[in-house]
Structure formats: structure tokens, C-alpha cells
Homo-oligomer: A and B are copies of this chain.
Amino acid sequence: MERGRTLSTPALRAAVERLAPPMDTVAAYHFGWIDAQGNPADADSGKAVRPALALLSAEAAGVPAEVGIPGAVAVELVHNFSLLHDDLMDGDEQRRHRDTVWKVHGPAQAILVGDALFALANEVLLELGTVDAGRATRRLTTASRKLIDGQAQDISYEHRERVSVEECLEMEGNKTGALLACAISIGAVLGGADDRKADKLEEYGYHLGLAFQAVDDLLGIWGDPESTGKQTWSDLRQRKKSLPVVAALAAGGPASEELARLLAEDAKSSDFENFSEAEFAHRAALIEQAGGRRWTEDEARRQHAVAVRALDEVDVPQRVREALVALADFVVVRKK
């Protein structure tokens, strides 16, 4: 993953520097390259899973990792476009241990810079001017649309009393699976891989994304704020119908019913924002007792297995295969 960052960051920075002021500064803050006062910083700029995948993707097609760099930059730009907008829509005040862009620079800049990163992503690919770049952009556009669909579902689910496990998985496939799928196919497409190979790689990426998101949902409730950079019980505070919650609600039994009763009350509560740590801890304990935590841990492993199996059906160099398996392993055991 370190290689993904090292190889793609200079190109990412060069792309971001194209933005007109003050958007370049706002974006640099978001990526952790400067602090809120504009001084150089070296803050956590995210896990860079997507750039790493895009470079491996090129190698999966038998071309040098460097061929995947524009793809790595494009998917990272789309990912960060969605973070900027989602943080604002969700009212999230912290990301990667720092205040979010809308908190520091205001909502208008969060909207605007998100838009600019999204446009830049397409620009970086299309200016390659090749037929394969057009194919790559089309896949990126499809993934972006799913990303937006997923955010729409996520928001609407927060206002619904019941969300099925299937709906939740569909939402998470859109929100996380689609862009990871694009990341692991985009470098190959830029390297001339045919659609069949790209589709198989996407299958790996999609299920990797679902494994990733299952772990994210666990961290969103039981994660250590020191590691995740988010508030305690972050997803509960936002009434997120994440996998552990929907699985617990679907499980039945006393803890499940008590949880359903409490969440229905919470939805109507005007005092929800002032709930104590203990009140969130109680809800988390009910989710665990109802089996939502265990189910989600199992689900992460199931998706991990499906992702790894997809690799068996596609001809990729052994070294790349091993790296992709290692990445899937990492995604499942990560603590942040």
C-alpha cells in the first residue's frame, strides 16, 4: 500500500494544484498536505487502498504499475469528492483526526471542491486521449453513479424504521464496492485489458469492498476513536442503519426487540444529540447480544472469501494475486 501512495501521490498533488484558488488550498487541507492555517503538514491522508489497487490493476494486465497512475489518481479523486460531500450531508465534523472541510472552510467550499475533484478525475483520464482512457472513464462514471446512489440510500435509510439486511448490503455495495471494483479494473483497462478480464477483477473489488465496509461498520460502533479518528459510537450517533444494526434487528429475540423499541424511540427523540456515552454503550451492547456484531464479523469473512475466489477465474501474475490476497487479508483485520 505504501508503494501505491509513493507512486501516485506526486501525480495526485499535480492534479490538485490545477485547481483555481482557493480550491487548491481547501483540497490540500482535505488531503492532509497543509493545516487549517495553510502551513505544510503531513497528516493522515487516508489508507490509499484505491491507488494501491489501481497500480496492482495495471500489473494484473501485465503492464508496468506506472500505467495505472492516472487511474489511481482518478479513483482517489472520486473517493475524496464523495468524502467531502458526504461529510457535509452527514454533518460529520471529524475525519482522519482533523476537522472536516465544511467545518474549517464552510459548506460552500466543501461542495465546490468536491465538484472540482469529481471533474478533475474525469479530466485526468480523458486527457490521455486514448480509446482505453474512454473505456476507463466510462467505468469510473458507472462507479461514481453507484457511489451517489449508495449515499442516497444511506441517507434515506437513516429516516426509516426498518431496513433489511439485503437493502443494507446493496447500499454498501454501491457506496464502497463499486469504487473499489473500479480501482482494481481501471489500471488493467488503461493497460489494454479486455472487458471480460476487467469485469472479473471488478468482482474481486466489489466483494473486497463489502468486506471492507463490514469492517468499517464494526469500527463505526466498536472502533477505538484513537485509531479511527472518529467519535465514539460514531455510526450510532448518526442513526446509521449499518450492518450490525440491521442484522441485530433481523435476528429476533429479546435483545433484538429491546433494540428495535429503543431505536424507534430515538428516531422521535428531540434530545438524541445529548445522549450520554452510557446510552450509546447500552445500544451497542444490545446489538452485540442480538448477534449483530458476530454476524457482521462473519459477513466480512464471507465477502473476503468470495473476493479471493474471483481471482481464481482470472489470469493474473502470481505476485499480483498474492498482493491482492494480502490486501483482502489486511482489509479484514484492520483497526482503522
A119 in contact with B148 (CB, 8 Å): yes
Cβ of A131 under 8 Å from chain B: yes
Q: For the complex formed, measure the closest distance between the CB of A234 and the CB atoms of chain B, giving whole angstroms.
A: 18
**Which residues from 136 to 157 on chain A have a C-beta closer than 8 Å to any C-beta of chain B?**
137-138, 141-142, 144-145, 148-149, 151-153, 155-156
B89 in contact with A108 (CB, 8 Å): yes
Q: A142-B123, A156-B22 are in contact. Are A151 and B85 (CB under 8 A)?
A: no
Chain A facing B: main interface SS? helix
A111 in contact with B85 (CB, 8 Å): yes
B144 in contact with A119 (CB, 8 Å): yes
Count residues of chain A with CB under 8 A from any CB of chain B.
40
B115 in contact with A20 (CB, 8 Å): no
Distance of A25 Cα from B114 Cα, bound (Å): 23
Beyond contacts A21-B156, A115-B115: 18 other A-B pairs, Cβ-Cβ < 8 A, are: A19-B149, A20-B152, A20-B153, A21-B152, A23-B149, A85-B115, A89-B107, A115-B148, A116-B145, A116-B149, A116-B152, A118-B119, A119-B148, A120-B145, A122-B137, A122-B141, A134-B134, A134-B137
Distance of A57 Cα from B182 Cα, bound (Å): 34
Cβ of A211 under 8 Å from chain B: no
Distance of A118 Cα from B153 Cα, bound (Å): 18
Measuring CB to CB, which residues of chain A are less than 8 angstroms from any residue of chain B? Answer: 19-23, 81, 85, 88-89, 107-108, 111-112, 114-116, 118-120, 122-123, 126-127, 129, 131, 133-134, 137-138, 141-142, 144-145, 148-149, 151-153, 155-156
A111 in contact with B111 (CB, 8 Å): yes
A119 in contact with B131 (CB, 8 Å): no
Q: List 10 A-B contacts (CB under 8 A).
A: A20-B149, A81-B115, A85-B115, A88-B107, A88-B111, A111-B111, A116-B145, A119-B141, A122-B122, A126-B141
| CB closest residue in chain B, given A137 | B126
Distance of A122 Cα from B126 Cα, bound (Å): 11
Distance of A152 Cα from B115 Cα, bound (Å): 11
List residues of chain B with CB within 8 A of the CB of A134. Answer: 126, 131, 133-134, 137
Distance of A23 Cα from B156 Cα, bound (Å): 11
Distance of A148 Cα from B119 Cα, bound (Å): 9
